[in-house]
Amino acid sequence: MRPYSAYDSDTCSIARTLALIGDRWTLLVLRDVANGVRRFDELAGHLGIARNILASRLARLTEAGLVERAAYREPGARERHEYRLSEPGRELMPVLVAFMAWGDRHLAGPEGPPAVVRHADCGGRIRVSLTCEEGHELGERPRLRVEPGPGSLVRSLRTARAWQRA
């Protein structure tokens, strides 16, 4: 088997997802929208983000289909929009919970975790875990093996294709 570095770095589901949402502000906007912070002014105030940066992040998230925009109008005011996670956006919850679990473990102060995530149905605390199809729980430091999948791309091949296009 070829080494990992023989495969194209960008042809990777981690790289592709990071190209879409792999920056701090985008992930914090997703966190806030997931937590019910839905309006532009409220997001800007809570995050302390420049309004032009917030607008560009929301536009990108909306265009990518991760966030849905809905119009609302308060009495006497002009129409505004609020934002909600789409279904694909809600499927990013494991990413956010995994970041949170790591931070709770390694970056929380002596007072403990800043927030607790519970199952809305039963109130039980949530954890993120890696399991395998054989039913094994992989624990905190999982032993993983990565193999090329059907959509893998060997680097030299990609270079060759770029060459043909040029």
Q: Is position 97 an interface residue for its own copies (rule: CB under 8 A)?
A: yes
Name which position in 116, 156, 157, 159 contacts its own copies (CB under 8 A).
Answer: 116
Q: Is position 63 an interface residue for its own copies (rule: CB under 8 A)?
A: no
The contacts found for 22-30 with CB under 8 angstroms, 24 or more apart, are 25/49, 25/53, 25/54, 25/57, 26/57, 26/60, 26/61, 27/95, 27/96, 27/99, 29/54, 29/57, 29/58, 29/61, 29/67, 30/61, 30/66, 30/67, 30/85, 30/89, 30/92, 30/96
Residues 10-39, mask of contacts with its own copies (x by CB under 8 A): -xxxxxxxxxx-xxx--xx--xx--xxx--
> How many residues interact with its own copies (rule CB under 8 A)?
94
Name which position in 40, 62, 68, 113 contacts its own copies (CB under 8 A).
Answer: 113
Nearer to its own copies, 6 or 76 (CB): 6
Nearer to its own copies, 10 or 70 (CB): 10
Nearer to its own copies, 76 or 112 (CB): 112
Name which position in 59, 69, 131, 157 contacts its own copies (CB under 8 A).
Answer: 131
In whole angstroms, the minimum distance from the beta carbon of 161 to its own copies comes to 14
DSSP classification of residue 133: T
Q: Is position 76 an interface residue for its own copies (rule: CB under 8 A)?
A: no
**Cα dist. 108→22, 31, 104, 113, 126 in Å?**
23, 18, 5, 6, 17
